[in-house]
Chain A
Amino acid sequence: MSRFVTAALAGVILSLAGGLLATGTAMGADDAMAKGRELAFDRKKGNCLACHMIADGDLPGNLGPPLIAMKARYPDKAALRAQIWDSTVSNPRTTMPPFGKHGILSDEEIDLVTEYIYSL
């Protein structure tokens, strides 16, 4: 929980600082977004496209819903992260792999993927 509080605080500070120091912080966020996207597309990592349509991804699968309007679907980013970490909590028979619970992605990797997916 404190992770989220810290992250949220950091986010606030970053966005405040971002107004003043546009270049430095913007680069950091872009980097995180690029890494998150890379992990999401990597077949050995997130492999999101296997089951989800993503705007700029080729040959998406359709087992899961398209990854669009994520902020509307998950007003709380932590809920999206929790869904990626272990979606069997919200639906015990879901087909979606529990990326965090089964160590498919590390916690850091899940943070990055969450950032990226949340931007869709």
Chain B
Amino acid sequence: MNIRKQASVSVAVLLLATGTALAGAGTADADAAIAAAEAARKAAAEAKFEWNTTAPLIEEAKAAAAAGDFDKAVDLATKAKFQGDAAVAQAKHEAEAWKGAVIR
């Protein structure tokens, strides 16, 4: 990424952030939050540790975004991303921790 591109991205992020602060989340915020949630969910699924609460949250976030409620969409997607990340952390933790539970 060149400096000019980087600068324009920074400006865009700044504008988004300002926009969010002033007027709540916009469609771009919702899309970004949903994409991040989806990526986290996928990582959990690949680890075979996905929670069954995550995909429904993403669906709800999409529905909220479609209905124009971007604040709600971002809120739900953030929760979904949190879950995806937590499930991946759980998979990593259990990769060793399960051994401590084995009946010997």
How long is the Cα–Cα vector from A101 to B51 in the complex, in angstroms?
14
A102 within 8 A of B: yes
By size class, the interface of chain A is: under 10
A93 within 8 A of B: yes
Enumerate chain A interface residues (CB-CB to B < 8 A).
92-93, 101-103
Enumerate chain B interface residues (CB-CB to A < 8 A).
79, 82-83, 86, 97, 100-101
Would you call B97 and A103 a contact (CB within 8 A)? no
Would you call A101 and B100 a contact (CB within 8 A)? no
Chain A interface main SS type? loop
Would you call B100 and A103 a contact (CB within 8 A)? no
Would you call B79 and A93 a contact (CB within 8 A)? no
10 further A-B contacts with Cβ under 8 Å, apart from A102-B83, A103-B86, are: A92-B97, A92-B100, A93-B97, A93-B100, A93-B101, A101-B86, A102-B86, A103-B79, A103-B82, A103-B83
How long is the Cα–Cα vector from A101 to B86 in the complex, in angstroms?
8
Cβ-Cβ contact count across A and B, 8 Å cutoff:
12
Q: Smallest distance from the beta carbon of B99 to chain A beta carbons, Å?
A: 11
How long is the Cα–Cα vector from A92 to B79 in the complex, in angstroms?
25
Q: Smallest distance from the beta carbon of B58 to chain A beta carbons, Å?
A: 14
Q: Smallest distance from the beta carbon of B102 to chain A beta carbons, Å?
A: 11
Residues in A neighbouring B82, C-beta threshold 8 A:
103
Q: Smallest distance from the beta carbon of A63 to chain B beta carbons, Å?
A: 15
Residues in A neighbouring B100, C-beta threshold 8 A:
92-93
Q: Smallest distance from the beta carbon of A93 to chain B beta carbons, Å?
A: 5
Residues in B neighbouring A92, C-beta threshold 8 A:
97, 100
How long is the Cα–Cα vector from A101 to B85 in the complex, in angstroms?
11
Q: Smallest distance from the beta carbon of A42 to chain B beta carbons, Å?
A: 15
Q: Smallest distance from the beta carbon of A95 to chain B beta carbons, Å?
A: 11
How long is the Cα–Cα vector from A62 to B97 in the complex, in angstroms?
25
